[in-house]
Amino acid sequence: MLLVYTHKITPRLTYTFRHIFIRILNIEVNFTNKIEEFIGHDGPKFSYTKQALGSELFVKSNDLMFNQGIDYIDINMVKWGEAPCFFQTNVSAEVPCDIFAASFYLISRYEEYLPHVKDQYERFPASESLAYQNKFLDQPVIDMWAYKFRDVLMLHFENYRDDLKSSKRKFTYISTIDIDNAYQFKHKGFTRSVGGIFKDLTQFNIPNIWLRFLVIFNIRRDPFDMYKKLLLMKKKYGINTIFFFLLGEYSTFDKNISPGNTSYKLLIKDIADYVKVGIHPSYFSMKNELKIKKEKEILESIVNFPITRSRQHYLRIEVPETYQHLVDLEIAEEYSMGYASHYGFRASTCTPFYFYDLDFEIQTPLKVFPFAVMDATLKDYLNFTPKRAFNTMMKLAKEVRKVDGTFITIFHNESVGGSGRWRGWGRVYESLLIELSKVL
């Protein structure tokens, strides 16, 4: 067991250290503010306080870990080897930055509580983040710091080297599929179908009109109906897969078929027999707990079991309000932690973590699963070709593999279909599964 001496044991401190040592490094950790207990400990240990007690392994602490509330913090970036870091303490020290306070700043999403300019969908934009501005958004720096600190521990405690190293975890991959629009043409109802035909006519999109009729009369498969293929690929490559279903009322931003549609209900029930499923709360649910509750109850009534997974439509989360609502609704796993406009690690970690509520200074039971990349980000925001998108995904997976973390992607049934605006993208998803299945 690793023992940490500190002058004050705070919720922020225990939360951060447990993420780094237990969830990333699988090292049991305990804390003490008693000097005699620290001196008498026979095993790996270090002090985390304002001044070293003697010649022990020491990391100088930043006040952030002992404060409460939110204040503006001036941050200067430096390097620890190849890794970017901040909250510098001593250039010549083995650990030149307070990586624990820096980790807390990033993983608690401290910067999202500060005043910032929102994007057109009222989201915290990547461009406002420290990671984007300092070009480390594509690196899980918290995990990198954890592994570098483990190396320091092994140098200091050679007798425990094997114990520290044997705690190595394994790289994992979670594929998540968002069902924003279950079908392109089927089950849309008379009004929406006629409206779609008139829209295609005004745009002289005759092939789309012809395809719509072929689908409606069951001559051709609906382009978005990729469910059998997705389930077959999940089985073939042994990939952990989660489907998120949009069940909100029709709006400008929520254009799925009605949650009351019998065919849609049967589709959801069928998929839930083979993979994990979750709710995809609608666009206007970001600050509306009642909407999330209603949509969650609809999905539960369809699948007949409690729903504990969630991802916000359009990735619209307001920290901490949205997460507070999800906690109240007994959602256990949340998958919205990432950016729509950029790929990378919004919380600077590729390890699932528990949401820390800075309003109440507590760790909540809501486990956040940060994703690294979304298909729509690469196509719609960054205009990547399918080949460049695939290479970018593999590059991100490589970064996660370096620290044996959890790599999470978002695809849509539309992009897997590879038709219409997704033409040429049909092979990207399976190509990714083929490559990742080789290293799992």
Q: Mean pLDDT, the chain, as a whole number?
A: 93
Give the three-state DSSP class for 327: helix
pLDDT, position 92: 76
How many domains is the chain built from?
A: 3
Residues 77 and 179 in one domain: no
Give the pTM: 0.94
| Assigned token pair, 271 | 């998929």
- Rounded average pLDDT over 248-256: 92
Which of 89-98, 351-360, 428-437 is the least confident region? 89-98
Residues 325 and 346 in one domain: yes
d(CA 351, CA 19): 9
Strands 2-5 and 83-85 come out as: unpaired
CB 46 within 8 A of CB 157: no
Residues 371 and 249 in one domain: yes
Residues 98 and 213 in one domain: no
| Assigned token pair, 412 | 């849509």
Give the residue among 279, 280, 287, 348 at the shortest CA–CA distance from 321.
287
d(CA 163, CA 1): 10
33-57 pLDDT, tens per residue? 999 999 999 999 999 999 999 999 9
Give the three-state DSSP class for 218: coil
Residue 219 makes CB contacts below 8 A (sequence gap 6+) with: none
Give the residue among 258, 224, 267, 244 at the shortest CA–CA distance from 179.
244
pLDDT, position 206: 62
pLDDT, position 112: 98
DSSP H helical ranges for 273-320: 289-303
Residues 283 and 299 in one domain: yes
Query: What's 275's DSSP letter?
Result: S
- Rounded average pLDDT over 400-413: 97
Residues 177 and 323 in one domain: yes
Which of 195-199, 335-339, 355-359 is the least confident region? 195-199
96-133 pLDDT, tens per residue? 999 999 999 999 999 999 999 999 999 999 999 999 99
Q: Is the pLDDT of residue 194 over 60?
A: no
d(CA 171, CA 173): 7
Burial of 85-95, coded b for 16+ CB within 10 Å and e otherwise, reads: bbbbbeeeebb
Strands 172-179 and 406-412 come out as: parallel
Residues 161 and 310 in one domain: no
pLDDT, position 186: 80
pLDDT, position 399: 98
CB 35 within 8 A of CB 5: yes
| Assigned token pair, 25 | 């490094």
- Rounded average pLDDT over 229-245: 97
d(CA 349, CA 137): 10
Residues 381 and 291 in one domain: yes
CATH number at residue 427: 3.20.20.370
User: Domain range for residue 270?
Assistant: 172-184+222-437
Q: For tokens 């699932």, what's the residue?
A: 352
Q: Is the pLDDT of residue 207 over 90?
A: no
Q: Is the pLDDT of residue 267 over 60?
A: yes
DSSP bridge partners of 172: 406
Q: For tokens 């370096």, what's the residue?
A: 402
Give the three-state DSSP class for 422: helix
Could you tell me the pLDDT band of residue 25, with boundaries at 50, 70 and 90?
very high
Q: Is the pLDDT of residue 212 over 80?
A: no
Q: What are phi and psi of 426, to 5 degrees?
A: -60, -30
Residue 81 makes CB contacts below 8 A (sequence gap 6+) with: 148
Q: For tokens 């500060």, what's the residue?
A: 114
Concatenate the DSSP letters of all residues of 128-183 into one string.
Answer: GSHHHHTT-TTS-HHHHHHHHHHHHHHHH-GGGHHHHHTT----EEEEEEEES-S-
Could you tell me the pLDDT band of residue 439, with boundaries at 50, 70 and 90?
very high
Residues 232 and 216 in one domain: no
DSSP bridge partners of 362: 357
pLDDT, position 198: 57
Residues 37 and 178 in one domain: no
Residues 304 and 209 in one domain: no
- Residue 189 to residues 81, 201, 255, 375, Cα–Cα distance (Å): 60, 18, 12, 28
| Highest-confidence segment of 31-45, 199-213, 216-230 | 31-45
CB 280 within 8 A of CB 180: yes
Residues 215 and 245 in one domain: no
Could you tell me the pLDDT band of residue 190, with boundaries at 50, 70 and 90?
low
Q: What are phi and psi of 31, to 5 degrees?
A: -130, 150
Which of 11-15, 165-169, 315-319, 406-410 is the least confident region? 165-169
Residue 286 makes CB contacts below 8 A (sequence gap 6+) with: 122, 312, 316, 317, 318, 321, 322
Residue 46 makes CB contacts below 8 A (sequence gap 6+) with: 2, 4, 5, 56, 57, 58, 59, 153, 156
d(CA 264, CA 186): 10
